[in-house]
């Protein structure tokens, strides 16, 4: 018997309070974008010409020299790495993943080796590259990158994501400066980031975005950056290892339509609507015993305020995990950002909530509390949230109304460590530590 797909989708719909998560379908595609995707499915087209048109739109949106559409952001990272190793040499492109005749080392900070469904290092190694991790999980210094860069280095991969360590690592500006001095390109994995311009502006040679997250398109990736490297990445997609993860016409058209919509969107109005949902969630939770709502900004600078749901008591981690699980397995299922339940909280993201979702979420939470899911945690007094126009966030808008990261507020774009610093003082030991002897003092060993 044929499957009734419409009924199946309705019966299995998840209320997405988690954000643009691939496991939940990433985003809801707007009607105007979906209509153009549908139109593309009926057409035949020269795919290279379609990609060239896409490049012109990507340039306008990102400020890069060129761009292309890939099957996904992960596929974009893979072909970007491949392009940095092979350039436009078709012989080298066809030889991958055999890199015996190529510079094959790809450097990444240890705190950026994250798992977004697969480890980022696996995506890099698909090309035949060798991954070299530098620094430690929570600390990386300029000298460590300088030491690792040599003629065998093909690229540096920099990951901007809530999954990464958010302090103690080298900021993008420093990485780009050091790598440029060595003639090594920097690839930024910005799959889940809203700002399309800051990464190129801070010195990235290639930036990779998802078309199906904040852009709200169908599944695809976008590679933007230096023209020679974009061309090399594109060639690796159509003639090399990327052929196995190629994008179809509908993905390209959908990515372009999503970019055009993004450029024309009233972002401020959209974010005000999202923040109203945040306030509604927070105010509703004040009436649910055992829960506290706190507004928090997105850690990487995306223009989002989220509701952090705190659970206190003798075992807040277990209580947070139990409530998140109860929401996810109930009817209708509610998916939350549960990355930190062990710390006694989870978060609610407003960007993919649909009309009518907020009252359902609040009722599901209240129902779970009534049914005793928090029985191990006493009820704390609710903390009132200080209202703000759009809530705490680490982003602003350009004069054209487009969203951009406030680079003074996010760790990945910070000033970093000045040249020299404590490493230079260490290299100058013991002289750097002997400046306080005073007049007439004798130098040690004299």
What are the structure tokens assigned to 387, written together? 């209202």
Average pLDDT, the chain: 85
Q: pLDDT tens across 208-219, in order?
A: 999 988 888 899
pTM: 0.83
Q: pLDDT tens across 187-233, in order?
A: 999 998 888 999 999 999 999 999 988 888 899 999 999 999 999 99
In which region does residue 293 sit, left (phi positive, over 0), alpha (psi from -120 to 50) or beta (all else)? beta
User: What pLDDT does 27 receive?
Assistant: 79
One fold for 27-264 and 267-380+390-395: no
Taking CA atoms, 337 is separated from 162, 209, 350, 446, in Å, by 11, 21, 11, 64
Over residues 326-348, the mean pLDDT reads 86
* Domain 27-264, architecture per CATH: 3-Layer(aba) Sandwich (3.40)
> Could you state, in order of their start, the residue ranges of all structural domains in the chain?
27-264, 267-380+390-395
User: What pLDDT does 93 receive?
Assistant: 94
DSSP 55-109: HHHHHHHH--SEEEEESSHHHHHHHHHHHHHHTT-HHHHHHTT--TTS--EEEEE
Q: pLDDT tens across 30-67, in order?
A: 889 899 999 999 999 999 999 999 999 999 999 999 99
Over residues 298-303, the mean pLDDT reads 85
- CATH 3.30.420.40 given to domain 267-380+390-395: no
Q: pLDDT tens across 73-86, in order?
A: 999 999 999 999 99
User: What pLDDT does 247 receive?
Assistant: 93
């Amino acid at each position: 018997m044929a499957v009734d797909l419409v009924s199946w989708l309705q019966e299995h719909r998840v209320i997405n309070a988690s954000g643009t998560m691939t496991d939940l379908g990433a985003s809801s595609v707007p009607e105007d974008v979906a209509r153009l995707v549908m139109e593309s499915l009926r057409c035949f087209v020269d795919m290279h010409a379609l990609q060239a048109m896409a490049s012109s739109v990507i340039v306008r949106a990102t400020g890069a020299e060129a761009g292309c559409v890939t099957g996904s952001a992960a596929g974009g990272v893979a072909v970007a790495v491949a392009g940095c190793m092979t350039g436009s040499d078709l012989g080298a492109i066809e030889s991958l993943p055999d890199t015996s005749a190529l510079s094959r080392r790809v450097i990444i900070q240890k705190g950026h080796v994250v798992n977004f469904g697969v480890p980022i290092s696996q995506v890099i190694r698909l090309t035949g590259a060798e991954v070299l991790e530098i620094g430690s999980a929570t600390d990386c210094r300029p000298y460590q990158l300088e030491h690792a860069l040599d003629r065998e280095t093909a690229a540096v991969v920099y990951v901007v994501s809530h999954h990464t360590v958010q302090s103690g690592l080298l900021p993008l500006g420093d990485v780009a400066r050091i790598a440029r001095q060595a003639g090594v390109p920097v690839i930024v994995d910005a799959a889940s980031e809203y700002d399309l311009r800051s990464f190129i502006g801070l010195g990235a040679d290639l930036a990779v975005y998802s078309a199906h997250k904040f852009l709200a398109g169908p599944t695809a990736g976008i590679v933007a950056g230096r023209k020679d490297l974009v061309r090399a990445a594109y060639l690796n997609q159509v003639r090399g290892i990327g052929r196995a993860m190629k994008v179809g016409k509908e993905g390209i058209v959908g990515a372009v339509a999503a970019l055009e919509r993004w450029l024309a969107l009233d972002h401020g109005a959209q974010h005000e609507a999202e923040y109203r949902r945040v306030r509604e969630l927070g105010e509703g939770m004040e009436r649910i015993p055992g829960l506290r709502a706190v507004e928090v900004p997105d850690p990487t600078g995306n223009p989002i305020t989220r509701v952090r749901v705190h659970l206190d008591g003798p075992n807040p981690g277990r209580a947070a995990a139990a409530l998140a699980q109860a929401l996810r397995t109930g009817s209708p299922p509610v998916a939350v950002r549960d990355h930190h339940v062990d710390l006694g909280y989870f978060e609610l993201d407003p960007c993919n909530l649909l009309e009518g979702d907020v009252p359902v979420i609040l009722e599901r939470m209240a129902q779970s509390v009534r049914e005793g899911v928090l029985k191990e945690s006493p009820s704390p007094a609710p903390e009132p949230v200080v209202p703000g126009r759009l809530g705490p966030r680490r982003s602003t808008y350009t004069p054209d109304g487009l969203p951009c990261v406030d680079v003074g507020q996010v760790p990945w774009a910070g000033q970093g460590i000045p040249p020299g610093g404590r490493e230079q003082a260490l290299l100058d030991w013991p002289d750097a530590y002997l400046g306080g002897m005073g007049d007439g003092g004798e130098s040690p060993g004299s």
